[in-house]
Homo-oligomer: A and B are copies of this chain.
Amino acid sequence: MSHHTSASLSLELIQEASTFLEGRVRRTPVERSDDLSQRLGVDVWLKLENLQLTGSFKVRGALFVMHRLFDEGIDHVATCSAGNHGRGVAYAAGKLGMRATIFVPSSVDKVKLTAMQQAGADVRRSRYAGYDDTEKWALEESEKLGLPFVSAFDDPAVMAANGGSVAVEVLDQVPDATTFVMPVGGGGHAGGFAFHVKEKLPASRIVLCQHEGSAAFLKSMQEGRAVTAMPPIDTLASGLEGGIGVLPFEILRTRHDDIRLADEVALRRAMRWLIDEHQLIMEGSCAVAIAACLDPSFPRPDGPVVIFLSGRNIARNKLVDVMSEMD
């Protein structure tokens, strides 16, 4: 069972997270995409959270939640992560002088694994390649160890920081935006982001992007309940592989306007596009949102678009493999 430091998501909690994170994380820039602006016929901006400290937005939630746990007197936590959340937790633990035991799938990216270890975390690699099996094992193990378990997404405070605080920045940076495009995996970012944006701009459009091989949110909408576990798939988008959280699903079910799927070929093409157009690295999970916008079937937006870029943690050998392909 996850240890939550807050009962429910609210604008107040998002504001608290935003204020707390000021000066502790980077206020990442938005960068205009000339190419996508031309393709879609409106201004398209990239919110570059792939340039965030620790290489992804996940450090926001990790810092916010770990500080709250620290204030509760907790000095050692457990968590499960495909890598970015774990890297954030390891960073936060280092800052606070806390200990972190992090359970990761066997498929974890080398960059993420090394960074967690270098930050001093106790990293335990599971025998499962998939996230959901690994999390089940992680919950059992942390129970045995008597450690409070920090969810990567199924927690109001994580959503407030990982999604809400980013939305606060984005609405300030691109005040006339009407469409917001983002990946959704467990839903920690998307839940907090969509909650904030729909409160502030009810008429705006939230477009959620998933890997077609692990479309837990789409399946959840079809079944009318959160699909929290999915069969593991082999993909570069390891951060999106697996089920959606119960709390994020409850928020997102009434706060999204479109669901777009991308396949492995499209996300690899999107990674090359970002290097060609912006000379920036993104990881596979990040790429599904760009892939969705590059797809000719993407509906013509009625105003400026912001695409959320989540992370850049990817090992060089994988990147070379993607970059060497021809379009």
Contacts and interface: CB of A to CB of B under 8 A. Distances in A.
Contact of A324 (B53, B118, B314, B320): B320
Contacts of A53: 29, 31
Interface stretch (A68-76, A155-163, A221-229, A276-284): A276-284
Contact of A280 (B281, B320, B323): B281
A111 interface: yes
A312 B34 contact: no
Interface in A100-118: 111, 118
Nearest to A313: B279
Interface in A18-77: 26, 29, 31, 34, 51, 53, 55
B324 A111 contact: no
Given A29-B26, A51-B51, A281-B281, A276 B316 contact: yes
A275 interface: yes
Contacts of A280: 281, 312
Interface in A251-298: 272, 275-276, 279-281
B316 A275 contact: yes
A26 B32 CA distance: 13
A319 interface: yes
A32 to B, nearest CB: 10
Contacts of A275: 281, 316, 319
Interface string A293-327: 00000000000000000001110100110011000
A279 B320 contact: no
B279 A314 contact: yes
Contact of A323 (B118, B313, B323): B323
Contact of A319 (B26, B34, B55, B323): B323
A279 B118 CA distance: 16
Contacts of A276: 111, 316
Which 10 pairs across A and B sit closest by C-beta, in order of nearness?
Answer: A279-B312, A320-B323, A279-B281, A275-B316, A26-B29, A320-B324, A276-B316, A55-B279, A34-B118, A316-B323
